[in-house]
Structure 1
Amino acid sequence: MSAILSPRPLIKENDVKATLLSPDFLRVSQPKTFRHSIDVYLKDSNATGNIYFARHFEWQGICRERWFFECVSADMLQSLGVFITKEAQQKYVSETFAFQKIDCEVNTFGVKHCSFSLLFRFFVGGELVAVGHQQIVFANKEKKIARLPDHILAKIREYEVEKGE
């Protein structure tokens, strides 16, 4: 095997500099973030108008299901198996009240072949009011942990952030 060396460069130096400094080349791909809004009513609150803490877990479920439906698989992969919530946590940053609009952002982190975690951030008027996560495991129809299909893993990774973000 031999190589042919060209006496002149195939790409001019200025072309290389322009390519390396172009906005498209410098752009680091950012993960997608799923957003869903929830309206809060009196039924969600106690007598003083504070929102019951358990509602945040309900909202995690609502946002998780909407994310699966819109972004991953509308049938929730029911023909292949089930998603199991292995762990869930919620940290409350500040109180929420009836008639506020809760905006939820969902991302993934810790994506592996059979599991991943969902990160939930809840905002009111742009201010963080709660943050939580769920670890999700995929199991086949026999309820044994199974590998997620590659095309589903690719969709899940589109939303992946570092855990600390």
Structure 2
Amino acid sequence: MLLQTDLTTPLESPANYVPAINAQKTFRHILDICLKDSNAYGNTYFARYFEWQGVCREQWFYRCVASDMLQSQGVFVTKCAHQDYAHETFPFQTVECHLNSFNVRACSFHLLFRFYVDGVLASTGFQQIVFASHDRKIIRLPKSVIEEIRLYEDAQFVPKG
């Protein structure tokens, strides 16, 4: 079980989570799968899902939280990232990513990624993001940023079992 104040505790697999439905907002971003994203068998490379997490995270933060990405105040460090798959995806499919936050704290937050193809869940993943100074010491997020991140938070989002 995730301890609210412990930045080092790994989370259970996202497959053990229910989809976030209790957030005020959910960020959505569309991705198109191309041939370059697939292997010789025609299914999507494992690494692309992590790339898509980064694309969706950056688009969400830029469009919804802080367009300056807080560059003058510090840096965002991805402490951990995880991805689980429900079924394969293939070139020329359109993927819709749904992003929500959970476990929002003073210096860190988690992001939940749900990837859908034709309305069917294809994959889920999460990242733990920590805010740090330019010399890589963990620091508090600005209060206004925490307030924006909380708009996407599912406060009831907890691991099953």
Which TM-score tier does this pair reach, normalised by the shorter chain?
0.7 to 0.9
Q: Note if 1:163 corresponds to 2:157.
A: yes
In the alignment, the residues of structure 2 paired with residue 102 and residue 53 of structure 1 have an alpha-carbon distance, to the nearest angstrom, of 15
Corresponding letter in the other structure for 1:110: N
Segments of 5+ residues of structure 2 without an aligned counterpart are 1-21
Corresponding letter in the other structure for 1:103: E
Q: Which has the larger radius of gyration?
A: 1
Q: Which residue is equivalent to 2:92?
A: 99
In the alignment, the residues of structure 2 paired with residue 100 and residue 141 of structure 1 have an alpha-carbon distance, to the nearest angstrom, of 39
1:126-165 → structure 2 map (5 Å cutoff): 126-161=119-154, 162-164=156-158
Q: Which residue is equivalent to 1:17?
A: none
Task: Decide which structure has greater helix share.
Answer: 1
2:23–2:100 Cα contact (<8 Å) kept = no
Q: Among the aligned pairs, what percent are the same residue?
A: 58
In the alignment, the residues of structure 2 paired with residue 141 and residue 48 of structure 1 have an alpha-carbon distance, to the nearest angstrom, of 43
TM-score (norm 1): 0.80
- Which structure ranks higher in relative contact order (CA pairs < 8 Å, sequence separation ≥ 6)? 2
Q: Which residue is equivalent to 2:111?
A: 118
Corresponding letter in the other structure for 2:52: W
Large movers: runs of 4+ above 6 Å: none
Corresponding letter in the other structure for 2:122: V
Q: What is the deviation of 1:136?
A: 0.3
2:85–2:124 Cα contact (<8 Å) kept = yes
